[in-house]
A = this chain, B = another copy of it.
Amino acid sequence: MTIMPKLPEKTIERLSQYRRALLICLGKNKQYIFSHELAGMLHLTPVQVRRDIMLIGYSGTLRQGYEIREMIALIGKIIDSEEGLKVAVIGLGNLGRAMISYFNGKRTKLSIVAAFDINQEKVNRVYAGVPCYHIDMLSKIIRSENIPIAIMTVPGDEAAKVTESLVLAGIKGILNYTPTPVNVPANTYLQEYDMITSLEKIAYFVKQGNREEHI
Interface residue tally for chain A (C-beta within 8 Å): 70
Q: Is the CB of A175 within 8 A of B202?
A: yes
Identify whether the interface residues of A are mostly helix, strand, loop, or mixed: helix
Q: Do B198 and A175 touch (CB < 8 A)? A: yes
Stretch at the interface among A13-21, A29-37, A51-59: A13-21
**Chain A stretch 101-121: residues in CB contact (< 8 A) with chain B:** 101-103, 106, 108-110
CA of A191 to CA of B109, assembled, Å = 26
B102 A195 Cβ-Cβ under 8 A: yes
Partner of A203, one of B42, B110, B201, B209: B110
Do the beta carbons of B206 and A202 come within 8 Å of each other? no
Stretch of A64-72, A78-86, A134-142 at the chain-chain interface: A78-86
Task: Pick the residue among B16, B78, B101, B149 that contacts A196 (CB under 8 A).
Answer: B16
Q: Contact check, B172 vs A210: say whether CB atoms are below 8 A apart.
A: yes
A residues neighboring B (CB under 8 Å)? 3, 6-7, 9, 12-13, 16-17, 20-21, 24, 40-43, 78-81, 85, 87, 93-95, 97-99, 101-103, 106, 108-110, 148-149, 151, 153, 172-175, 179-181, 183, 187, 189-211
30 sampled A-B residue pairs with Cβ under 8 A? A3-B211, A6-B208, A7-B204, A13-B197, A16-B197, A17-B197, A20-B196, A24-B181, A42-B181, A43-B190, A78-B204, A79-B200, A79-B203, A81-B207, A85-B203, A93-B101, A94-B95, A95-B98, A95-B102, A110-B199, A148-B206, A149-B199, A149-B202, A149-B206, A172-B209, A174-B202, A175-B198, A189-B202, A189-B205, A191-B198
